[in-house]
Amino acid sequence: MTHIPVPEGMPGIRGPMMFRPETALPLNMLAEVLLQGPSTLSKGERELIGTYVSNLNQCKYCATMHGAVASHHLGNAGVVKQVWGDPEAAPISAKLKTLLRIAGKVQEGGRRVTDEDVAAAKAEGATDIEIHDTVLIAAAFCMFNRYVDGLATWAPDDQSIYDQIGAQRAEQGYLTPMTPVSPPLS
Protein backbone atom coordinates (compact mmCIF):
# COMPACT_ATOMS: atom_id res chain seq x y z
CA MET A 1 0.00 0.00 0.00
CA THR A 2 1.16 3.52 -0.78
CA HIS A 3 2.82 5.17 2.25
CA ILE A 4 0.66 8.32 1.93
CA PRO A 5 -2.99 8.68 0.88
CA VAL A 6 -3.26 9.24 -2.90
CA PRO A 7 -6.36 9.33 -5.15
CA GLU A 8 -7.82 5.99 -6.27
CA GLY A 9 -6.84 4.74 -9.73
CA MET A 10 -3.65 6.82 -10.02
CA PRO A 11 -0.71 4.49 -10.68
CA GLY A 12 2.97 5.27 -10.06
CA ILE A 13 4.12 8.87 -9.97
CA ARG A 14 0.60 10.11 -10.69
CA GLY A 15 -0.50 9.45 -7.08
CA PRO A 16 2.11 11.62 -5.32
CA MET A 17 1.87 14.20 -8.10
CA MET A 18 -1.86 14.59 -7.38
CA PHE A 19 -1.09 14.71 -3.65
CA ARG A 20 1.34 17.62 -4.12
CA PRO A 21 0.75 19.64 -7.32
CA GLU A 22 3.30 22.33 -6.32
CA THR A 23 6.17 19.90 -6.83
CA ALA A 24 4.48 18.04 -9.71
CA LEU A 25 4.72 21.14 -11.88
CA PRO A 26 8.54 21.48 -12.01
CA LEU A 27 8.87 17.66 -12.21
CA ASN A 28 6.64 17.53 -15.28
CA MET A 29 8.36 20.57 -16.79
CA LEU A 30 11.70 18.82 -16.39
CA ALA A 31 10.38 15.66 -18.08
CA GLU A 32 8.89 17.75 -20.88
CA VAL A 33 12.14 19.63 -21.63
CA LEU A 34 14.33 16.54 -21.38
CA LEU A 35 12.15 13.97 -23.15
CA GLN A 36 9.98 16.03 -25.50
CA GLY A 37 11.80 19.32 -26.06
CA PRO A 38 13.96 20.18 -29.09
CA SER A 39 17.01 17.86 -29.23
CA THR A 40 19.28 16.11 -31.69
CA LEU A 41 18.48 12.89 -29.79
CA SER A 42 15.14 11.47 -30.94
CA LYS A 43 12.27 11.18 -28.45
CA GLY A 44 12.55 7.40 -28.75
CA GLU A 45 16.25 7.48 -27.87
CA ARG A 46 15.67 9.72 -24.86
CA GLU A 47 12.87 7.49 -23.55
CA LEU A 48 15.16 4.47 -24.02
CA ILE A 49 17.69 6.13 -21.69
CA GLY A 50 14.88 6.66 -19.14
CA THR A 51 13.56 3.13 -19.26
CA TYR A 52 17.09 1.68 -19.21
CA VAL A 53 17.98 3.54 -15.98
CA SER A 54 14.58 2.71 -14.42
CA ASN A 55 15.14 -0.96 -15.19
CA LEU A 56 18.60 -0.81 -13.55
CA ASN A 57 16.89 0.70 -10.50
CA GLN A 58 14.29 -2.10 -10.70
CA CYS A 59 11.50 0.46 -10.68
CA LYS A 60 8.71 -1.51 -12.32
CA TYR A 61 6.34 1.41 -12.87
CA CYS A 62 8.87 3.77 -14.51
CA ALA A 63 10.64 1.04 -16.51
CA THR A 64 7.38 -0.32 -17.93
CA MET A 65 5.82 3.10 -18.47
CA HIS A 66 8.78 4.69 -20.24
CA GLY A 67 9.34 1.42 -22.09
CA ALA A 68 5.80 1.86 -23.43
CA VAL A 69 6.49 5.50 -24.36
CA ALA A 70 9.72 4.48 -26.14
CA SER A 71 7.93 1.63 -27.96
CA HIS A 72 5.28 4.07 -29.13
CA HIS A 73 7.89 6.50 -30.49
CA LEU A 74 10.00 3.77 -32.07
CA GLY A 75 7.07 1.73 -33.40
CA ASN A 76 8.86 -1.31 -31.97
CA ALA A 77 8.44 -2.92 -28.52
CA GLY A 78 11.26 -5.44 -29.07
CA VAL A 79 14.11 -2.94 -28.83
CA VAL A 80 13.09 -1.89 -25.29
CA LYS A 81 13.47 -5.45 -24.00
CA GLN A 82 16.80 -5.80 -25.85
CA VAL A 83 18.08 -2.60 -24.23
CA TRP A 84 16.98 -3.89 -20.80
CA GLY A 85 18.77 -7.18 -21.47
CA ASP A 86 22.02 -5.98 -23.07
CA PRO A 87 22.30 -2.56 -24.71
CA GLU A 88 25.57 -3.55 -26.43
CA ALA A 89 23.70 -6.23 -28.38
CA ALA A 90 20.59 -4.11 -29.07
CA PRO A 91 19.81 -2.81 -32.59
CA ILE A 92 20.64 0.82 -31.75
CA SER A 93 23.33 3.22 -32.97
CA ALA A 94 26.92 3.02 -31.71
CA LYS A 95 26.47 6.56 -30.35
CA LEU A 96 23.40 5.60 -28.30
CA LYS A 97 25.30 2.61 -26.90
CA THR A 98 28.04 4.92 -25.58
CA LEU A 99 25.40 7.25 -24.11
CA LEU A 100 23.66 4.31 -22.39
CA ARG A 101 27.02 3.34 -20.91
CA ILE A 102 27.28 6.84 -19.41
CA ALA A 103 23.67 6.62 -18.18
CA GLY A 104 24.44 3.29 -16.50
CA LYS A 105 27.42 4.85 -14.70
CA VAL A 106 25.28 7.78 -13.54
CA GLN A 107 22.77 5.28 -12.13
CA GLU A 108 25.56 3.79 -9.97
CA GLY A 109 26.88 7.20 -8.93
CA GLY A 110 27.87 10.41 -10.69
CA ARG A 111 31.56 10.02 -9.92
CA ARG A 112 31.67 6.70 -11.79
CA VAL A 113 31.55 8.52 -15.17
CA THR A 114 35.13 8.68 -16.50
CA ASP A 115 36.90 10.84 -19.08
CA GLU A 116 37.16 7.66 -21.20
CA ASP A 117 33.38 7.12 -21.14
CA VAL A 118 32.86 10.68 -22.35
CA ALA A 119 35.64 10.43 -24.97
CA ALA A 120 34.04 7.21 -26.34
CA ALA A 121 30.70 9.00 -26.77
CA LYS A 122 32.37 11.98 -28.46
CA ALA A 123 34.25 9.60 -30.80
CA GLU A 124 30.86 8.27 -31.94
CA GLY A 125 29.70 11.82 -32.64
CA ALA A 126 27.91 12.71 -29.40
CA THR A 127 27.77 16.47 -28.80
CA ASP A 128 28.29 18.22 -25.47
CA ILE A 129 24.60 18.92 -25.12
CA GLU A 130 23.72 15.29 -25.88
CA ILE A 131 26.14 14.19 -23.15
CA HIS A 132 24.68 16.80 -20.80
CA ASP A 133 21.13 15.65 -21.47
CA THR A 134 22.05 11.97 -21.14
CA VAL A 135 23.55 12.60 -17.69
CA LEU A 136 20.56 14.68 -16.60
CA ILE A 137 17.99 12.19 -17.97
CA ALA A 138 19.76 9.37 -16.10
CA ALA A 139 20.00 11.48 -12.93
CA ALA A 140 16.35 12.57 -13.20
CA PHE A 141 15.20 8.94 -13.47
CA CYS A 142 17.23 8.14 -10.36
CA MET A 143 14.97 10.73 -8.71
CA PHE A 144 11.67 9.64 -10.32
CA ASN A 145 12.38 5.96 -9.48
CA ARG A 146 13.12 6.77 -5.83
CA TYR A 147 10.04 9.01 -5.56
CA VAL A 148 7.78 6.29 -7.01
CA ASP A 149 9.23 3.39 -4.99
CA GLY A 150 10.10 5.36 -1.83
CA LEU A 151 6.37 6.04 -1.40
CA ALA A 152 5.42 2.47 -2.41
CA THR A 153 3.06 3.61 -5.16
CA TRP A 154 0.81 1.31 -7.18
CA ALA A 155 2.54 -0.41 -10.13
CA PRO A 156 -0.21 -2.18 -12.12
CA ASP A 157 0.44 -5.65 -13.54
CA ASP A 158 -1.81 -5.00 -16.54
CA GLN A 159 0.38 -4.05 -19.55
CA SER A 160 -2.58 -2.36 -21.28
CA ILE A 161 -2.56 0.38 -18.60
CA TYR A 162 1.06 1.21 -19.49
CA ASP A 163 0.34 1.10 -23.23
CA GLN A 164 -2.57 3.48 -22.74
CA ILE A 165 -0.65 6.03 -20.65
CA GLY A 166 2.51 5.50 -22.74
CA ALA A 167 0.67 6.39 -25.95
CA GLN A 168 -0.82 9.46 -24.26
CA ARG A 169 2.57 10.72 -23.05
CA ALA A 170 4.29 9.96 -26.38
CA GLU A 171 1.66 11.95 -28.29
CA GLN A 172 0.88 14.75 -25.81
CA GLY A 173 4.04 15.11 -23.77
CA TYR A 174 4.12 15.52 -20.00
CA LEU A 175 2.06 18.64 -19.38
CA THR A 176 -1.47 17.40 -20.13
CA PRO A 177 -3.81 16.35 -17.27
CA MET A 178 -3.51 12.92 -15.65
CA THR A 179 -6.64 10.80 -15.93
CA PRO A 180 -7.31 7.91 -13.53
CA VAL A 181 -7.19 4.32 -14.78
CA SER A 182 -9.37 1.48 -13.48
CA PRO A 183 -7.73 -0.34 -10.56
CA PRO A 184 -7.53 -4.13 -10.95
CA LEU A 185 -10.62 -6.07 -9.86
CA SER A 186 -9.99 -7.90 -6.63
CA-angle at 75, arms to 69 and 78, nearest 5°: 85
- For 122-127, the CB contacts below 8 A with 24+ separation are 123/98, 124/93, 124/94, 124/95, 124/97, 124/98, 125/95, 126/95, 126/98, 126/99, 127/40
- Provide the sign of the torsion angle of the four alpha carbons 93, 172, 179, 147, taken in this order: positive
Per CB under 8 A, the list member of 110, 125, 180, 184 interacting with another protein is 110
Look at residues 12, 10, 56 and name the one whose alpha carbon lies nearest to residue 31.
Answer: 12
Task: List the interface residues with another protein, window 113-172 (CB under 8 A).
Answer: 113, 115, 118, 128-129, 131-133, 135-136, 138-140, 142-152
Per CB under 8 A, the list member of 10, 12, 14, 27 interacting with another protein is 27
Q: How far is CA 149 from CA 8, 17, 152, 153, 154, in A?
A: 17, 13, 5, 6, 9
* Residue 93 near another protein by CB under 8 A: no
DSSP assigned state of 37:
S
* Residue 3 near another protein by CB under 8 A: yes
Select 34 or 79, whichever has its Cβ closest to another protein. Answer: 34
* Ramachandran angles phi, psi of 177, nearest 5°: -60, 155
* Residue 57 near another protein by CB under 8 A: yes
Select 94 or 152, whichever has its Cβ closest to another protein. Answer: 152
Q: What is the smallest separation between the CB atom of 77 and another protein, expressed in angstroms?
A: 26
Q: What is the smallest separation between the CB atom of 139 and another protein, expressed in angstroms?
A: 4
Q: What is the smallest separation between the CB atom of 78 and another protein, expressed in angstroms?
A: 28
Residues within the interface to another protein (CB under 8 A): 1, 3-5, 16, 19-20, 22-23, 25-27, 29-30, 33-34, 37, 57-59, 102, 105-107, 109-111, 113, 115, 118, 128-129, 131-133, 135-136, 138-140, 142-152
